[in-house]
Structure 1
């Protein structure tokens, strides 16, 4: 195996793949992913990617304003401006790479509407846009001779050493069984996605344990606004940890949100009704639950033409049939669920962190674009714009900075014990009680004290550096940072009473 790389990218969602494609072809690049290359939060994105591609009726100024309104004006204006101005160019590049966005009867790209947007500007591939983009990016990445991909690998150690980085990865394939592989890199891009598995229920994939944020925190990188957690209002209300998302675009196409009595209620809480931003709808559901004394809520689009529903939402339709519901006939049970993180590793407009040579892109980063609540379909756009920016910055640096690769070795034996069972379950239970839609300050304080104990035990317990141990430590670190941020922000925290 090669040991020295110019750039190591951790994560294979849109940010990691798109960033890799824009790195100079003279750079030796390694992409590391925890499971299969196709498994990421990006692949689960249903709705689409937001961009102003029809200047005849839309305007970048409107997209900027919609983003600021959704984020409670806690966004970074420079980052929002960069996102909205450069986004259309990146979307056009996706088309050049083979991404197939749906078209209308006239052959024009079909644009749909989602909550918080003042204009239809969401480009989509049916209801599986993320998967379409990821699959096409993978095809393009695999054509690049300078890029190596490691699947089924997890980075458990990352240290800044001299002018580069040392990396400890547990590698697992047909020839290696959780073997420690030590690597050196000039630059590192963290594209590790979200933190959904810190909650009991999430729409995120199984790998979303906040590893990149935990690694960056251990290195001393600045972490910002980790309490800015988004709860999507319309996840399928099944009793499983990974809940299936009923895309916002279903409401954009006219679905009605109903309470236990079959009544629409959102205009009671916001004049925009079902098309208010996600945090507003989620808090509206919680308020309605308190008012009517029931947690039963439904999304109903059955009044629409069945053919339209099946063609527009084939993936959602098929998934619901498995659960015993017909989207063309039945109201679908829904309930808020952890969905996205707006905070993360703080970066500048080049996606550079406060650790020299370390970059963060996508959901694990805090660009300031989203403020306190992400506008629908801005996440894929952020991944495109800011991973491209990171690649450009690395390309420019690599031309003037001499190649330097530190000794990558890590201690061979860092513990022999296996972690006790139930740690992750306890963390999730605490977070679900303390910080679900509307934070509970008393439960947050008590939960923080307990999770700090868990984290100390993990750090000092002499445990074997395994996949299970590392993810548990990541979750404990993320939970601590979220609850600390909730405590510090108080009434300023998103969702605060």
Structure 2
């Protein structure tokens, strides 16, 4: 019999959002933090740039709010933006208090202070960082803290399959009561009971063929929340990072935006610059503009990549500011102190997600969503650089406070039946999963990528409908696996992205369509409702 676990709070995801929440609740309750790989498997670990916040005395909340609203192309929720930025200093101070080793510099008065860098779309230097590996520093620090806490149980190699709600089991009023979780070491599905469940599972950029994200960024939390009955919003806004290393052996290696912030120039193969003809902010324009400019030049010239050049800066400057990028590029034979870096755009950040309020609460009581899987209204139609790690910490702290307030409310226990797989068999056709996985990511890249059209979206809609049926049949008849669960979730997320893109009859921010190249005067979020949408029949508690 597979194991059944009982926790006060279940956190699905071990990145900055999930660990921050766990550490802020652990003195009150027993918390489980699940990771489908090792604890560093999420996107946080690979974030290079930093955390944006109002730290410098010459900076203001109003300036950061204005920059965020401008980058969001009119679709940011100003209340959410203001809430996040007003809590930026407190959140960064909390990270410093945990021991995150942010980079310092010698000031003119002889004192040391934190070095702040400037990234695209920002009007001030306000990005605090740990060299060019900020995510790694945050991730390692918070993991060490979590591992040392007696009330936090970190559990690796566990992949959530679906959320469990009381309504599914015939118990009202509805609330989230746990999750079915696949143990990737035993291949058994286990039951996790919890009074509060927090989705901190990251984004969905693996839905695209080329991405800067880790392999696990398959939109699991978004898909599970959608199947459970939560609304999602603005899924058409997928941020493509302009500069990922273009090299046959370099899988998903991001070239930090800070290189452009510190004077890096984008060039064509002949050495000429092209950003000045696209935007007056040149290399420091928001990411959607830079990514589209690169995509345009690559298609116009029929080239495989463009080049990012920082070699005009002193070698010592490059080595001190970008040691990780330098070493990684050097391992591929590229000396960034002497030559430009070949780069291409790649899917990077999911701006939409599960709809939440400023406490991270979803449409289902006792279910929270924080970090990249959530839609808070902060990012609008395009995320401002380094606002994402800030959002993780701000909303994790807010959700932790909300859960604390609810701990005294008695909850009636609900029995959860064990996962039933008595009617399924082992698959001998896993090639179908591999084929569908590859096909989905390719047509999403070709038809629902940086530049879209109605015809392309219709093609994508046709393909996803066929894939849904194939995946449903496979899911209904065979034992589940890591690849099948992720493919199932990716197909749901792809459908949500396509549906959202087809609804938006304009170009705005990250959504650019050839058929509607102008922006409308009306400003509306794209909200999808799960009612009457069931591409997969629920398989729990029985088939």
Which of 373, 386, 389 is the aligned partner of 1:364? 373
Shift of 1:242: 3.6
Superimposed CA distance per residue, residues 440-478 of structure 1 (whole angstroms, 9 cap, x where no aligned partner):
321221112111221122123313211111011011111
Superimposed CA distance per residue, residues 84-110 of structure 1 (whole angstroms, 9 cap, x where no aligned partner):
000111101111110111111121100
Distance 2:448 2:189 in 1: 36
Which of 150, 160, 184 is the aligned partner of 2:193? 184
Superimposed CA distance per residue, residues 407-452 of structure 1 (whole angstroms, 9 cap, x where no aligned partner):
2523233522534131100001110101221123212211121112
Which of 285, 295, 318 is the aligned partner of 2:294? 285
Partner of 2:160: 155
Shift of 1:38: 1.1
**Matched residue SS, 1:310:** helix
Asked if structure 1 preserves the Cα contact closer than 8 Å seen for 2:49 and 2:258, the reply is yes
Asked if structure 2 preserves the Cα contact closer than 8 Å seen for 1:362 and 1:382, the reply is yes
Partner of 1:378: 387
> Which segment drifts farther, 473-482 or 404-413?
404-413
- Change beyond 3 A, Cα 1:412–1:150: same
Q: How does 1:16-35 map to 2 (within 5 A)?
A: 16-23=18-25, 25-35=27-37
Q: How does 1:264-283 map to 2 (within 5 A)?
A: 264-283=273-292
- Change beyond 3 A, Cα 1:187–1:268: same
* Unaligned residue ranges in structure 1 (runs of 5+): none
Asked if structure 2 preserves the Cα contact closer than 8 Å seen for 1:186 and 1:405, the reply is no
Q: How does 1:145-224 map to 2 (within 5 A)?
A: 145-161=150-166, 162=171, 163-173=175-185, 177-224=186-233
Superimposed CA distance per residue, residues 91-131 of structure 1 (whole angstroms, 9 cap, x where no aligned partner):
01111110111111121100011000000001000000001
Partner of 2:478: 463
Shift of 1:489: 0.9
Shift of 1:143: 2.0
Distance 1:492 1:355 in 2: 32
Distance 1:32 1:362 in 2: 15
**Matched residue SS, 2:490:** helix
Distance 1:280 1:437 in 2: 10
Partner of 2:348: 339
- Change beyond 3 A, Cα 1:492–1:399: farther
Distance 1:483 1:37 in 2: 31
Q: Does 1:475 align with 2:487?
A: no
Asked if structure 1 preserves the Cα contact closer than 8 Å seen for 2:204 and 2:218, the reply is yes
Distance 2:99 2:412 in 1: 34
Distance 1:2 1:53 in 2: 45
Which of 40, 43, 52 is the aligned partner of 1:41? 43
Partner of 2:127: 122
Partner of 2:102: 101
- Change beyond 3 A, Cα 1:164–1:209: closer
Distance 1:414 1:154 in 2: 21
Partner of 2:467: 454
Q: How does 1:121-140 map to 2 (within 5 A)?
A: 121-140=126-145
Shift of 1:157: 2.4
**Matched residue SS, 1:422:** helix
> Which segment drifts farther, 393-402 or 476-485?
393-402
Partner of 1:495: 512
Superimposed CA distance per residue, residues 359-394 of structure 1 (whole angstroms, 9 cap, x where no aligned partner):
101111111100011100000000000111111111
**Matched residue SS, 2:333:** coil
Distance 2:67 2:162 in 1: 40
Which of 436, 439, 460 is the aligned partner of 1:423? 436
Distance 2:256 2:219 in 1: 23
Distance 1:416 1:454 in 2: 21
- Change beyond 3 A, Cα 1:396–1:408: farther
- Change beyond 3 A, Cα 1:403–1:197: same
How many residues align structurally? 493
Partner of 2:331: 322
Distance 2:420 2:216 in 1: 26
Superimposed CA distance per residue, residues 245-278 of structure 1 (whole angstroms, 9 cap, x where no aligned partner):
1100000010010012211111101000000000
Q: Name the TM-score, length of structure 1 as normaliser.
A: 0.96
Asked if structure 2 preserves the Cα contact closer than 8 Å seen for 1:351 and 1:386, the reply is yes
- Change beyond 3 A, Cα 1:387–1:413: farther
**Matched residue SS, 1:157:** strand
Shift of 1:313: 0.6
Partner of 1:235: 244
Asked if structure 2 preserves the Cα contact closer than 8 Å seen for 1:279 and 1:495, the reply is no
Asked if structure 2 preserves the Cα contact closer than 8 Å seen for 1:220 and 1:355, the reply is yes
**Matched residue SS, 1:185:** strand
Q: Name the TM-score, length of structure 2 as normaliser.
A: 0.88
